[in-house]
Every structure is written in C-alpha cells, then in structure tokens.
C-alpha cells in the first residue's frame, strides 16, 4: 500500500488495528508475520519505547503485506521520522492542526484522536472524516459514540483505549465505527515472550469479531 493511501481504506482492512508496544526491534517482523497468519494486515507501532521506529522500519522493509502505522505521534519531527522508516499512516492521541500539516507534508495518512464534540468539530473543519476516539472506555465508550452518530454522520471512528475482546463487539456494532484499536490483538506479554502462536490466535479472534 502506498503512502498516499486513504485512512478510511486502511481502517477498512479489518475490524481491529493492533496497537503494539515493542521493546526489541528484531521482534517486529516476526510479530507482523504472526498477525498476518491470523488475518490482520494493519499494525500501529507506538512510540512508547526507544525500539519503536526501528521496529517499524524492519516490519515495513521485511513484511510487505503488512500496512505499518506509527502511533503516539506528538510533533512534526515524529511525523517525519515515521515517514522515513516506511510507515504508511500516523496516529496521534489528540488533534493538532500543525501536526495535521506535518503529516500531510510527510505523505502519510492520518488518524488523530478526539475526545469531545468540540474536538470532532475542529477536526471536521480541518477536512478530516476519520478520527480516533480516545481514550474510548473512559470517555463514554459505546454510549458516547452513539451520541456522536447523529451529530457527525459523515465521521468514521476508530475507538481506542481500554477496549478488551469482550467489549469489542459492542463498538463494532455501531454504524459510525469502522474499526477499533486495541492491544488485545497482540498482547505485550506475548510479544515480549515471542509467543507467536498466541499472537496468531488473538489475531484470529479479533478478525472473527466482524465475520
């Protein structure tokens, strides 16, 4: 997938985007292959460890079938770094017009986070039609997104934050939810243990959420 990809197309590749934290960059490609074996072809590597950018680079260069995103992008420099390592999309916890400009300049698709109606309105005014609802569980969850739907019928959401496998179906049943983000599709302890069979099984369960 090219860096000109639309974020809605990326969100539509499956019901769940795994949000992963990687301590050892060498684990990245094996993690990506385990997810692919379970049916997931999109990954968000969060910038929460020093290994994150190198892990994203190795995944992008070695596992071409995986669409790589970089998450927890907070400033223009990180957006540029994400593009440099071969990421296709960037994810941020909040909406920042300057970061929107930087992500566009880097040629990346963008999924910024919002929490309130005011933030959704600001992002909508900036031309965005796909947003991350974050942190989902502590910001009203399914009930909040139901209230967003009639107000912003053209906005597609990816709720992320505090969502577990048992909660996921409730989010995915909403008309304005295109996919969800969550670590349950690739648990951190399984990544650290290099337990790829568990990752593949978690990916299969995640994919089964939307038939």
Residues noted as catalytic: 44, 132
Cα distance between residue 55 and residue 5, in whole Å? 21
DSSP character string of 124-185: HHTT--EEEETTTGGGTHHHHHHHHHHH-TT-EEEEBSS--HHHHHHHHTSTTB--EEEGGG
- Using CB atoms within 10 Å of the CB of residue 39, give its burial: 0 to 12 exposed, 13 to 18 middle, 19+ buried: middle
């Amino acid at each position: 997938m090219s860096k000109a990809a639309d974020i809605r197309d990326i969100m539509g590749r499956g019901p769940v985007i795994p949000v992963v934290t990687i301590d050892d960059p060498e684990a990245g490609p094996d993690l990506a292959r385990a997810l692919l074996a379970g049916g997931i072809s999109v990954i968000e590597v969060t910038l929460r460890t020093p290994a994150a950018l190198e892990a994203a680079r190795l995944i992008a260069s070695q596992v071409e079938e995986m669409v790589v995103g970089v998450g927890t992008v907070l400033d223009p420099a990180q957006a540029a770094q994400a593009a440099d390592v071969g990421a296709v999309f960037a994810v941020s916890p909040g909406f920042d017009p300057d970061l929107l400009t930087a992500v566009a300049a880097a040629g990346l698709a963008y999924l910024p986070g919002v929490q309130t109606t005011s933030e959704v309105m600001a992002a909508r005014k900036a031309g965005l039609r796909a947003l991350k609802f974050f942190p989902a569980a502590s910001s009203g969850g399914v009930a909040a997104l139901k209230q967003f739907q009639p107000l912003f019928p053209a906005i597609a959401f990816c709720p992320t934050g505090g969502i577990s496998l048992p909660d996921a179906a409730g989010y995915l049943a909403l008309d304005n939810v295109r996919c969800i983000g969550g670590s349950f599709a690739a648990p951190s302890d399984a990544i650290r243990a290099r337990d790829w069979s568990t990752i593949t099984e978690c990916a299969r369960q995640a994919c089964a959420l939307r038939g």
